[in-house]
Amino acid sequence: MENRKSSMVQTEIDSPSVKRAVFQEIMVTAYGGVLVVADVLLVLLKILYYIGEGIYRLFVPVEEKSVADEIVLITGAGRGIGKELALKYASLGAIVVCWDLNQEGNDETVNEINRISASKAYGYVCDVSNREEVFKAAEKVREEVGNVTILINNAGIMPCHAFLDHTPEEIKRIFDINVLAHCWTVQAFLPSMIQKNYGHIVALSSMTGIIGVANLVPYCASKFAVRGFMEALNEELRILNKEKTSNINFTTIYPYVVNTGLCKNPKFRFPDHLGMVSPKEAVAKIVQAQRRNDKEISIPTYWFHINKIIRCTPPSCMKQLVDFVDTNLYPDS
């Protein structure tokens, strides 16, 4: 009986239909393996291509696109980088929308643009940390100016003292303005950009969003969050637009210490070479990055590349570089 069963099993294995099925399964598996190898080779070729393109662009930058007649909304436009950005975009022919919580400073920016520039500027008082206020102001902008095509999230605060000296209210305020405000403004203006498949979002992070700094723990955390927010948002739209070319761009800026008054007690070992960056210099780089559709830049630009290289080394190497540069911020008095 046992021999008969074995003979029947062997007969089934030897049958043409079973052999054909086994052969087909082997071929499918082999074909799948070939496809994986082909995909790996294709990815490697693409990586090499984009590395070559990146090197080429170091010497031959992308031509800067025009911003004439674009509607540019800038948060924190009443002073510092925000004010200089508003003036710069107006000089390039853009229609500028200024948002700030400080009406006096915001009005000064708007009046200066309308006095010296052929471009038109509009001002709105808005607490960007308040989602309801953001959406109300955004609706006014749509009705009175039009759809925003370039959004620049610049507003931020930077209390400077030891982490344990921060109050809960202060920490919450830092994240409300430095992080959540980005969420509210993007939710307000991104839908029209998606509908038209056109727009640009610029976020001001900081070099402290790349490297942690003493006496700025919550601020650093907020700027790290901005980097993650922009990277994830960019990736989400890339996935959603896989079927077509997306004309919505994202740029994240990492300025070094900018002389806007936020840094009250800076410490520099090499002030002539690694000192404060002027607002005008920072703004020139920000506008250039936006007009070139750069994804990320630091100001000065070399810091971003130095950080990428040094991060490939043991953590102690980063500490040695930080100690050598010896740039820091003393607590606010």
Catalytic residues: 219
Length of the chain: 333
Question: What amino acid occupies position 21?
Answer: A
Measured CA to CA, the distance from residue 327 to residue 266 in angstroms comes to 8
Decide if 97 contacts 145 (C-beta within 8 A): yes
The CA-based angle 100-289-50, given to 5 degrees, is 140
Q: Which residues pair with 266 in a beta bridge?
A: 329
Nearest in space to 289 (alpha carbons), one of 255, 253, 258, 256: 253
DSSP 179: I
What SS3 class is residue 203? strand
Pairing of β 95-100 and β 121-125: parallel
Q: Which residues pair with 150 in a beta bridge?
A: 72, 200
DSSP 310: H
At how many degrees (to 10) do helices 217-240 and 181-196 cross?
Answer: 20
Burial class (CB in 10 A: 0-12, 13-18, 19+), 174: buried
Measured CA to CA, the distance from residue 251 to residue 287 in angstroms comes to 10
In angstroms, what CA-CA distances link 263 with 200, 220, 259, 333? 29, 14, 7, 12
Nearest in space to 235 (alpha carbons), one of 295, 304, 189: 295
